[in-house]
A and B are shown apart, each in its own frame.
Chain A
Amino acid sequence: MAEATLREEALPGTGGVPQGLRDFAGDWASDQEVFKGVHWGKAMMWIFLLSDTFIFSCFLTSYMTMRSSVTVPWPNPSEVFALTIGGQSIPLILIAIMTFVLISSSGTMALAVNYGYRRNRKVTAALMVATALLGATFVGMQAFEWSKLILYEGVRPWGNPMGAAQFGASFFMITGFHGCHVTAGVIMLLILASKVLRGDYDRSGDYSAVEIGGLYWHFVDLVWVFIFAFFYLW
């Protein structure tokens, strides 16, 4: 720490930044590594995911507050999200399929990270494209679910024919924000996969980008675990 400060002071007037600020930045960044041996990008991704955890938790907590303070019955998710397949109404089936699709995408992503560290360029890229396709399938099913609710069931953010008015607002906010994350993840995966295929990470010798991208993708799956439990199964 002292060395860094000395080095900073030894530099004669570089730029217009006051010395005090220079020292401040130097003290906070003087080669002090808290997360030893952890790729900086991975540490930053984890911190971003931590902040995202708080955002989703705020949504879920406000949903809990709304749901447990309404005096009219909450629409039964088991019935609202039922699908009629072959003349039989199966409760929550679309959501169950979406859950399995997202878990499978997490599985292929985990394999992609593993093959990345083995420097298997083609298999890594293929697995990442498979992950992106599963993610796109998930978003597609969500679009189907949304349009069904909006067009046929008459669910609006300010009300719905089935019960508590707050249902629509919480549903669109929570699943919409999650769907945006999945969509962003699909785009990220496709960009990363094309970089893998192009050999960018073979040249730099560092496949960490695949793992860091994977962290984001697993997080999206993780959030869905909580949404599935609290929104659909409550």
Chain B
Amino acid sequence: MNHTPVHDVSHQAALTPVHNVGQQHPLGIYFKVWGLLFVLSGLSYSVDYFHVQGFVRWALIITFMLLKAGLIVAIFMHMAWERLALIYAILVPPIALGTLVYLMSIESNYTFWTRILFFDAGS
């Protein structure tokens, strides 16, 4: 298995083509992501604060959420510099969750209309 120095060098080597800034100022990238996460959280909070509703609300919330999640996984968790084998092994399986969410949204829609028809109609 690898040891830290080797690991660190591979990080730096992989860093060069992608993020020159990260290599010149190793700590800088963390502070930038930290700041960006603050800004994105502030933005998603303001969506609620200013009562944005409907499609725009959903689009904004999901966009900010995915951007935050991406920044945390890619930079804070160093996924951007890992080998493709690890990236795919971890990030591909959660795609299956889309199927679960899709099926459950169909199911909840069915339950909702069943309840409307049989519960609320009588009351």
Interface residues of A (CB under 8 A from B): 34-40, 43, 46-47, 49-50, 53-54, 57-58, 61-62, 64-71, 78, 91-92, 96, 99-100, 103-104, 106-107, 109-111, 114, 117, 205-208, 211, 214-215, 218-219, 221-222, 225-226, 228-229, 232-234
B49 at the interface (CB under 8 A from A): yes
A62 to B62, CA, bound (A): 18
Chain B, interface size: which category? 35 or more
Q: Is the CB of A61 within 8 A of B4?
A: no
Q: Is the CB of B83 within 8 A of A38?
A: yes
**Main SS class of interface, B:** helix
Instruction: Find chain A residues with CB under 8 A from B24 CB.
Output: none
Instruction: Write the chain A residue with the least CB distance to B94.
Output: A53
- Known A71-B116, A221-B72: A50·B93 in contact at CB below 8 Å: yes
Q: Is the CB of A96 within 8 A of B41?
A: yes
- Known A36-B83, A225-B68: A68·B112 in contact at CB below 8 Å: yes
Q: Is the CB of B4 within 8 A of A207?
A: yes
A106 to B116, CA, bound (A): 45
Instruction: Write the chain A residue with the least CB distance to B37.
Output: A103
B19 at the interface (CB under 8 A from A): no
Indicate with 1 or 0, residue by residue over B78-107, a CB within 8 angstroms of chain A CB atoms: 100011011001100110010011001101
